[in-house]
Amino acid sequence: MRSDPADYELVVPGSLHAVLALLAGEPDWQPIAGGTDIMVSYAAGKLSTPRLVSIWNLPELRRIEIFPNEIRIGAACTYTDLRESSVVANEFPLLARAASWTGGIANQNRGTLGGNIVNASPAADSLPALLAYDADLILISARGERRVAHRDFHLGYKTMLLAPGELIRSVCLPRVYAGYRYYARKVGSRNAQAIAKVCFAGLGLASHRVIEDVRIAIGAVAPVPFRLAETERILRGKTIDPPLLDLARKTAGAEVRPIDDIRSTARYRARVAANLVAEFLDTLRVEADRRHGELPIPDPMPDRLARWNSLPPDGAAQEILPCCGSRAWAFGVAARRPLLDEASLLAASDQVWNSLDEPDWLEAFASHPRLGESRAVPNAPAQSAAWSAQEQKNVAASSKAALAELAAANREYERRFGRIFIVSATGKSPAEILEILRTRLQNDAAAELREAAEQQRRIARIRLTKWLQA
Amino acid sequence: MGKPSAQRREIAFVVNGEPTTVTAFPMERLLDVLRRDLGLTGAKEGCGEGECGSCSVLMDGALVNSCLVPVAQAAGVNIVTIEGLAANSSLHVLQETFLAYGAAQCGICTPGMILAASHLLDKTPSPTLANIREALAGNLCRCTGYMQIFRAVAEAARRRAAP
Amino acid sequence: MPVKGVQGDDILDQKHIVGTSVPRKEGRDKVTGRARYVDDMVLPGMIYGATVRSTISRGRIKAIRFDPGIEWSEFVVVTAKDIPGKNRVALILDDQPCLAEDTVNHPEEPILLLAHSNPHLLPKAVQGVSIEYEELPAVYTIEESERQAEIIWGTDNTFKTYLVEKGDVDAVWDKADYIVEGEYTTGAQEQLYIENNGVIAKFDPADGVTIWGSLQCPYYVHKALLSLFNLPEEKVRVVQTETGGAFGGKEEYPSMIAGHAALLAMKSGRPVKIVYDRAEDMVATTKRHPSRTRHRTAVSKDGRILGGEIDFTIDGGAYATLSSVVLSRGTIHAGGPYNWPTVRIRAKAVATNAPPQGAFRGFGAPQSLFAMERHIEKIAKVVGLSSIEIRRRNFLETGSSTTTEQTLRDPMNLGQLLDAALESAGYREKKIRFAAENKLGKRKRGMGIAAFLHGAGFTGSGERYLNSLVGVEGRADGSVCILVSSTEFGQGTNTVLCQIVAETLGLPYEHIAIAQPDTTVVPNSGPTVASRTVMIVGKLVQSAAVGLRQTLMDGGLSPEHTPEQFQAACREYVESHGPLRCYARYQEPPGVHWDDQKYRGEAYAAFAWAVYVAEVSVDLTTYQVSVKDFVALQEVGKVLHPVLAEGQITGGVAQGIGFALYEKVVWRNGRMLNGQMTNYIMPTSADLPPIRVFFQEMGNVHGAFGAKGIGELPMDGPAPAIANAIEEALGVPIDSIPVLPEDIFEALAHDEPLAAPISAPRTAL
C-alpha cells in the first residue's frame, strides 16, 4: 500500500444534493463510487486527487427508472444491479453481458456504470454496449441537468464532456430494440478477471439475410471505444453472404486503430476485431431466436446433475438405477456425489462397476430383455425398458429370418452360460451382434463373465449420458 | 502533497454481529482497519488491487474486496469476516467440506474463498459447476488448481439441501 | 538418545492411517481464519522496513542523496557499511551482496534499507532517496551473454557447466537413418504464492538475531545470517510462520529479506517487519530460469534413438543463487523417460542483468522435459511413425541404464502407463472424431501427450551432504511430537509426517503433533525442496519413532501396547529420566554411487513416472487456446494421503497450464514490466479444465511406507502435453512457451514454427 491515508480526505455527504453543493463550491473534490478503479490507483501510490467525495450508494443515483420509451440507469448502479435487473436483461442484453464479464463477483458488487464511463479506460467493458444502444447521459450539477449523447461524451483518451462540479446522473437507453439480435464478446487474457484486448458489442436487424440495421461498437482498439461507422455503412441494406463478410472484415480491420501494449499487439487486435465482425454477421444469418448471443458453451454440469446431487441417497440411487440395473451400483455411484460434470459421473460409474462382485453383475444383466425380443422384463423400470428398445432398434428392424437366427443363438448362449447374452447393442447391426455372440460362445465361463461385465459397463455409460441429456 | 489533509474520525459499523466503532482516517482501507485495528486477520492482502480476492468480506450481504473499500464508506454497514462465519465453536458447513475435500492447502486464499462460496450458496442454493466457477473466479488459488474447492462447494450445497 | 540410521525396508503391512485422508493437521485454523501468517503478527515496539532498490540494470553507484523535505532523523537507515559480517547472502557461490556497495548488477537490486514506526511514510521515503549511477552496458538474453561481448559475471558470464557423456556419441551419426534437430525455449515464470514474502526480525546484543518468516528452509536462513552478522550458531534463531504458498520462491529468497530485516532491527534496537507488496515481490524476487534446449538426435528407421547431443542452457539472472543446482536437475532430466544408448549433454547456466532467478517447482526439469517431449514428436514426424509408437519403442524399463548410467532397479512399466493414460483420456476415439470435426468449424481440437519422470530427493551425493537429522519426542502427556525443520506450506508436511508416526507407533493420529520449525527446537532435516520430505524425511521420522518405542520397550513397554499403555510409559519415562527424544540421521543406502566430476551414477534414489494427456480447443476467431480435459496419470510408489496427493497433482497441473498458456513475464531491459496480478495472468476457476488424476503404486524401498516424492512431478508434464495438442489441432509446431493467442495468430498467419529467442521482447512498447 503505497499511499498515506493521512494525505487524503474522504467525505460522505449522504445525499446527491449535498454532494452537488460541495462540488459547486470546490470542484476539485473527486467523486468516488465503488472505488474499484480509484482505490487501485491509491494503493499504487498514484492517486493525485487528495480530496474525495463519496457517491457510493446514493439512492438518487442507484435506481433504474423505467419509462415507456426509455430506461434511465442511475450512474451509481453496480454491475450486480444491472445483472439483477430484468428490464436490462430482457431489453439491453449487451449491457447485461458486459456487466457479467467485468471483474469477479466482488468487483461487480462495487463497480458502477458511471464509474466505468468516467474512468474512461479504452478497454472499458460497458462502453461498447452503450454506444451500440445510442445511449444518452444525463449530467447533473448544482446548476441543473443537461442531456448529452453518450457518443459525443468522450473527446479523446481520458478526456470527456464533464464540466467542473458535474456528475453523471443517469444513463438513458431507448427502448427501441425489440426484434434486434445481439452479439457481445470480450476477448481477454483469460476467461474471467481480465482487461479486454478487444471488446465487441453488436446489434442487428435482418430479415431473409438482408441487413436492415446494424450497430457495431468496439473497445480496446482505439483511445476511446467507438462505433464502426464505415463498416456499418457498407453493411446496411446488403445481403449477408461470404463476399460481404470478407468486405466487412477488411473494412473493420482498417477502421480500428489498436496499439501494441503490455497486454497484446496491434496486429492481433486488428485481426480479432475483424474476426468478431464476421462472427457477428454469421449469427445474424442464423434464423435463431433473439437470445443467440456468443457461441454457447454447454454447461458441463447440467441442471439435472445439480438437482440429482442434492437428492437424498435413496432418491439419487433410484433415479439412476435404470441405467444399470444393479442396486449396489446405483447406491455406489450415488455415494460418490457431488459429481460435477459428465466426465466425473461416467468415471464414477466405471469405478463402482469394476469394484462389484458377480451377484451384482448378474442383477444388472437380469434387468435386460433378451436381444430381439420385445417382451419386457418383469419388474424392470419403464425407463430401462425404453432404453433397451432404443439400443436394440437395429435388431428390432431386422428380417424375420435374422431374428430367428439371433433367437437360436441366444438360446444356445443361455444353455451354455445360464443367463442371457449381454452386449452393448447401440450402433451395431444384427449381423455384427450375431458374429459377436458366436465368438463369445467360445469363451470359458470366467472370461465370458468378464466380457459381459465389460459390455454392461459400456451400457451404463451410454444410458447415463442419455439420462443427463433428457 | 506533504501535509496531512485529513483528520481521523469515528466510524461505526457492525462486524460479525458486534457493533464496533473505530477511529481512523476515512481513506484507510477497510482491510487494514479490520486487520490492524480490530485484530481480524482472517482477511489477507495478496495483491492490493482487487484481483486475488484474499481480502474478500461480506458487506451488507454482498461479497466485496476489502482492499478497495475506504473505511468511511463502511459506516453503518454489516460486515461479516471469516471469523464470524461459524456460530460459536461449530464450523459452518463450508468450513467442514473445505476440510474434508482438501480445498485448503496453504490456506491463504481460504478465508476469502469460503466467503465467496458462502455468498454463492446464499444466492444459488443448488449451483451448477458453471455457477461455482463463476462465483469463485475472483478468488485466486495457486495451490489447488480449484478442483477440490469445486467439490467442497458442491458438497456443502448438497449437505444444506439434504442434511 | 541413540541416533538411528535408516535400515533397509520397514514397510509395514497394515495401513489404517497411512493411505487414508486424515484431516489436515493445521486445517481447522486455516478454514476459520485463525492461522497466523507473518503479516498477522505484531510484536511490541515493532517498526516497519522498506528497501531502496536500483533503477538501472548495471552500473556504478556514484552518489546517494536524501530529499531534504523528509525528516530523516525519524528513519532508521541501513547501508552495506552497517553489515557486521560478510556482505553476502550465503548460499552456494556467495557472490550475491545483501546490499549493493559500489556496483549494481540488476534492476531492483537492494541498496539501502529504511525503517519507521509508521509504514505509510515509507513509500515516500523510498522515493526520497535518489541515487546517481554511472551506467554500464548490460546483457539481457542468453545469446547476448554467450557472445561475451560484455562480461558481467566472473570471467565468461557462466555460473556453471556440466558435461554428461555416455558412450561414444561421435560414432553414432554415421549409423543414423535420420538426424533430427530442434530448438526449444521456455520463458520465466513467477511463483505467485498468494502470500508475499515477509519476515519479522528482532536483534538483541545478548541473544542475537531472531527471525519469524514465511519460508521453506529455516536452516538456509540460519546459515545466511551467521555469516552476515558474524555470529555463532546459537545466537541466530529462525522460526517459520504459517506460510501462504512457496513453490520454491521461498527456498533461498527469504535469506535476503531476513538479512535486511535483521540489519534494521540491529540498527534500531526494535523489532522490524518487512512484508513486500505484490509489485515489489513480483519484480524483485526470483523466478523460474528461462531456458533454451537444442537437440540433435540420431534415429534409426524403426524409430529408435541411437544417440544424440543435447545442449541445455538456462538464464540465471545477475547472481548465481541456485542456478548450478537447477542446471543439474535439468541436465539429468534432459533425456526424458527414454533409453539413450549414447548421449552427450552440455549444460550451462549463464548470467544476465536481471534479478537472479531461483527455485520454482520442478527446478530445471520442466524446462528440459518440455524440450524432450516436443522433440520426440518431431522425431516421430521425421520417421513417419506415431509419437505413441516412438515413445513405446524408446521407453526406459527395469534394468535400463539412464543418461547418467544409473541402472533402474525398481519395477516399472511406462508402456502400460501410456496405455492407461490414453484409455482414460479417450484418446483414440477423440483423435478420430477431431480429425473429422476439425475440417469444419472455427474451433480446432487436438490431443497431446507427455511422458516424463521426476527424481525425488537431492541429486547423487546431495542427501549425504545434507546429512539430515530428525527427532521424535515422547511428551509427559503421552503425545508424540515430531521435530523437523521441514516446513508446511500447503503441500501437507505436517499431516503426512504425523500419519507416518501414528501408523508406526500404533497411536491415534490425534496424539501426534509436529513442532513449529524453530532452529532452537528442531534439528536440521534439510530444506523442504526437491520432493524429498515424504520420501526421505518421512523415512527418517519413521526410524526415529521406532527408536523411541524401542527405548520405551527397553523400559518394559509391551510390543503389543495399547495407546494408553504407550501414554503411561511416556509419562513414567519423562518423570524419571527427563526429556524422551530419539533422533535419526540419514544414511546413504548401500550401492548408491555418484561421480560429481563425470556426472555419472545413481542420480536419485527413486523416480516417479508419469504420462499426461491434454485435450485442447483452439478458437480461430480469437486464437485462444482452452484446455478442455486433462488426464494426469502417475506411478508414485505409495499414496500416503489420497486427498493431499490429488491436490498436489491438480495444483501442479494448474501451474503447468499457466506455464504453457498464460504466464508470460514481459521484460524490458532486465526489468519485469507486468508486475501486477492484473497483467501477470494465472488461471482462475473459470479457466481450468477438469483435471482427472490417477495414481499407480509400485512401492519403493527407500521412501516411508513405499512413497516416492510427488510435489514437483506434475509441473513437468502439462506444458509439453499442451504444446503437442496445439500442434495436433493446428498443424503448427509450438516450440516456445508461453504461447499466447497473439503467438498462435502469428504462427497461423506465417505458417512458420514458433521458436523465437525467449529473451527477445515480443511486444514493443
Return the H-helix or E-strand segment holding B161.
helix B147-161
In chain B, whose CA is at the least distance from the CA of A337?
B155
The percentage of residues in chain A with a pLDDT greater than 70, rounded to a whole number, is 95
Residue C594 grid coordinates: 555418484
pLDDT exceeds 70 at position A210: yes
Nearest CA to CA, how far is B62 from chain A (Å)?
7
Q: What is the pLDDT of residue C642?
A: 96
Class of domain A5-54: alpha beta
A30 within 8 A of A38, measured Cβ to Cβ: yes
Decide the pairing of beta strands A30-32 and A9-11. Answer: unpaired
What confidence category does residue C760 fall into, taking pLDDT thresholds of 50, 70 and 90?
A: very low
pLDDT exceeds 60 at position C688: yes
Give dist(CA C481, CA C470) in Å, integer. 11
Mean pLDDT, chain C, rounded, equals 94
Give dist(CA C17, CA C497) in Å, integer. 11
Q: Which fold has domain A299-470?
A: UraD-like (1.10.3330)
pLDDT exceeds 90 at position C80: yes
Amino acid at C668: R
pLDDT exceeds 50 at position C9: no
Q: What is the pLDDT of residue C7?
A: 28
Classify residue B29 as exposed, middle or buried by CB count within 10 Å of its CB (0-12, 13-18, 19+): buried
Nearest CA to CA, how far is C742 from chain A (Å)?
6
Q: Could you read off the pLDDT of C469-486 as tens digits, one per residue? A: 999 999 999 999 999 999
Nearest CA to CA, how far is C275 from chain B (Å)?
10
Give dist(CA C22, CA B102) in Å, integer. 10
Give dist(CA A103, CA C441) in Å, integer. 30
Give dist(CA B40, CA A31) in Å, integer. 30
Task: Give the residue among C211, C393, C212, C234 at the shortest CA–CA distance from C299.
Answer: C393
Distances (CA, A) of C535 to A387, C183, C329, C458, C496: 51, 35, 18, 11, 11
- Give the residue-averaged pLDDT of C564-578: 95
Restricting to C residues 56-115, those with a Cβ less than 8 Å away from any Cβ of B are 69
Give dist(CA C736, CA C719) in Å, integer. 10
- Give the residue-averaged pLDDT of B112-125: 97
Which strands, in side-by-side order, build the sheet including C305-315?
Answer: C158-166, C343-350, C305-315, C291-299, C178-186, C736-737
- Segments making up each domain of chain C, as ranges: 10-35+468-585, 45-137+200-274
| Contact flag B157-A9 (C-beta cutoff 8 Å) | no
- The dihedral formed by the CA atoms of A252, A253, A256 and A258, expressed in degrees to the nearest 10: 160
Least confident segment among A202-216, B1-15, C58-72: B1-15
Decide the pairing of beta strands B78-80 and B56-59. Answer: antiparallel
C635 within 8 A of C397, measured Cβ to Cβ: no
Q: Which chains are adjacent to chain C, needing at least 3 Cβ pairs under 8 Å? A: A, B
CB-nearest partner of A192 from C686, C740, C746: C686
Q: How far is CA C373 from the centre of its chain?
A: 20
To which CATH superfamily is domain B93-161 assigned? [2Fe-2S]-binding domain (1.10.150.120)
Q: What is the pLDDT of residue C592?
A: 79
pLDDT exceeds 50 at position A336: yes
pLDDT exceeds 70 at position A288: no
What confidence category does residue B21 fall into, taking pLDDT thresholds of 50, 70 and 90?
A: very high
Residue B49 grid coordinates: 488491487
Q: How far is CA B149 from the centre of its chain?
A: 16
- Give the residue-averaged pLDDT of A285-304: 53
Give dist(CA C280, CA C264) in Å, integer. 19
Give dist(CA B66, CA A1) in Å, integer. 13
C211 within 8 A of C237, measured Cβ to Cβ: yes
Decide the pairing of beta strands B18-24 and C129-135. Answer: unpaired
Decide the pairing of beta strands C691-696 and C624-635. Answer: parallel
Q: What is the pLDDT of residue C6?
A: 24
pLDDT exceeds 80 at position B75: yes
- Of the CATH numbers 3.90.1170.50, 3.40.50.300, 3.40.120.10, 2.40.30.170, which one belongs to the domain with range C45-137+200-274? 3.90.1170.50
Buried b / exposed e over A306-333, threshold 16 CB at 10 Å, is bebbbbeeeebbbbbbbbbbbebbbbbb
Restricting to B residues 43-72, those with a Cβ less than 8 Å away from any Cβ of C are 43-49, 51-52, 54
> In chain B, what residues touch C647 (CB-CB under 8 Å)?
102, 105, 143-145, 148
What are A243-246's contacts with CB under 8 Å, separation 24+?
Answer: A244/A281, A245/A278, A245/A281, A245/A282
A395 within 8 A of A433, measured Cβ to Cβ: yes
Strand-pair partners of B102: none
Residue B103 grid coordinates: 480445498
Give dist(CA C350, CA C402) in Å, integer. 26
Buried b / exposed e over A262-286, threshold 16 CB at 10 Å, is ebbbbebbbbbbbbbbbbbbebbbe
C59: left (phi over 0), alpha (psi -120 to 50) or beta: left
- The dihedral formed by the CA atoms of C138, C140, C143 and C145, expressed in degrees to the nearest 10: 40
B64 within 8 A of B116, measured Cβ to Cβ: no
Q: What is the pLDDT of residue A109?
A: 98
Instruction: Report which of residues A399 and B19 the model is more confident about.
Output: B19
> In chain A, what residues touch C681 (CB-CB under 8 Å)?
189-190, 194
Task: Give the residue among A307, A348, A343 at the shortest CA–CA distance from A330.
Answer: A348
Classify residue A354 as exposed, middle or buried by CB count within 10 Å of its CB (0-12, 13-18, 19+): exposed
Q: What is the pLDDT of residue C380?
A: 98
C272 within 8 A of C352, measured Cβ to Cβ: no
Find the helix packing angle between C387-394 and C365-383, rounded to 10°.
Answer: 110
* CA geometry: angle B115, B138, C721, nearest 5 deg: 120
* CA geometry: angle C155, C156, C158, nearest 5 deg: 115
CATH 3.90.45.10 fits B9-84, yes or no: no
The percentage of residues in chain B with a pLDDT greater than 90, rounded to a whole number, is 91
Residue C643 grid coordinates: 486427498
What confidence category does residue B78 fall into, taking pLDDT thresholds of 50, 70 and 90?
A: very high
Least confident segment among A166-170, A282-286, C684-688: A282-286
Q: What is the pLDDT of residue A372?
A: 66
In chain A, whose CA is at the least distance from the CA of B61?
A109
Q: Could you read off the pLDDT of C427-454 as tens digits, one per residue? A: 999 999 999 899 888 899 999 999 999 9
pLDDT exceeds 50 at position C222: yes
> In chain C, what residues touch B113 (CB-CB under 8 Å)?
none
> In chain A, what residues touch C683 (CB-CB under 8 Å)?
190
Distances (CA, A) of C542 to A93, C18, C662: 62, 12, 41
Q: Residue B116: CB partners within 8 Å, gap ≥ 6?
A: A105, A106, B53, B56, B63, B135, B136, B138, B139
- Of the CATH numbers 3.30.390.50, 3.40.50.720, 3.40.50.1820, 3.40.50.150, which one belongs to the domain with range A181-291? 3.30.390.50
Restricting to A residues 330-369, those with a Cβ less than 8 Å away from any Cβ of C are 340-341, 343-344, 347
Task: Give the residue among C762, C747, C757 at the shortest CA–CA distance from C292.
Answer: C757
Model ipTM value: 0.97
* Cell 485454523 sits on residue: C29
> In chain B, what residues touch A56 (CB-CB under 8 Å)?
73
pLDDT exceeds 50 at position A416: yes
Return the H-helix or E-strand segment holding C293.
strand C291-299
CB-nearest partner of B145 from C24, C643, C654: C654
pLDDT exceeds 60 at position C404: yes
Q: What is the pLDDT of residue C750?
A: 74
What confidence category does residue B5 fall into, taking pLDDT thresholds of 50, 70 and 90?
A: low
What confidence category does residue A302 fall into, taking pLDDT thresholds of 50, 70 and 90?
A: low
Residue C634 grid coordinates: 502417475
Amino acid at B15: V
CATH 3.30.365.10 fits C10-35+468-585, yes or no: yes
Return the H-helix or E-strand segment holding A141.
strand A136-141
Q: What is the pLDDT of residue A368?
A: 86
In chain B, whose CA is at the least distance from the CA of C650?
B145
> In chain B, what residues touch A309 (CB-CB under 8 Å)?
126, 154, 157-158
Give dist(CA C446, CA C427) in Å, integer. 10
Give dist(CA A379, CA A385) in Å, integer. 10
| Contact flag A9-B27 (C-beta cutoff 8 Å) | yes
Q: What is the pLDDT of residue A259?
A: 96
pLDDT exceeds 60 at position B2: no
CB-nearest partner of A50 from B5, B126, B155: B5
Task: Give the residue among A182, A223, A222 at the shortest CA–CA distance from A206.
Answer: A182
- Segments making up each domain of chain A, as ranges: 5-54, 59-174, 181-291, 299-470
Give dist(CA B72, CA B69) in Å, integer. 8
* Cell 527456498 sits on residue: C251
| Contact flag A340-B129 (C-beta cutoff 8 Å) | yes
Strand-pair partners of C671: C668
The percentage of residues in chain C with a pLDDT greater than 70, rounded to a whole number, is 96
Least confident segment among A138-142, A347-351, C411-415: A347-351
- Give the residue-averaged pLDDT of A220-241: 96
CB-nearest partner of A347 from C120, C692, C764: C692
Q: What is the pLDDT of residue A374?
A: 57
What is the DSSP annotation of C624-693?
Answer: EEEEEEEEEEEE-S--S-HHHHHHHHHHHHHHHHHHHHT--PPEETTEES--STTTS----TTTPPPEEE
pLDDT exceeds 60 at position C648: yes
Nearest CA to CA, how far is B47 from chain A (Å)?
9
The architecture (CATH level 2) of A59-174 comes to 2-Layer Sandwich (3.30)
Mean pLDDT, chain A, rounded, equals 91
In chain C, whose CA is at the least distance from the CA of B132?
C685
Q: Could you read off the pLDDT of C355-376 as tens digits, one per residue? A: 999 999 999 999 999 999 999 9
Return the H-helix or E-strand segment holding C372.
helix C365-383
pLDDT exceeds 90 at position A53: yes
C472 within 8 A of C545, measured Cβ to Cβ: yes
Amino acid at C570: C
pLDDT exceeds 60 at position C755: no
- Give the residue-averaged pLDDT of C1-24: 55
Amino acid at A434: L
What is the DSSP annotation of A56-95?
Answer: TT-GGGS-EEE-SSEEEEETT-BHHHHHH-HHHHHH-HHH
Q: What is the pLDDT of residue A129?
A: 98
| Contact flag B144-C647 (C-beta cutoff 8 Å) | yes
pTM: 0.89
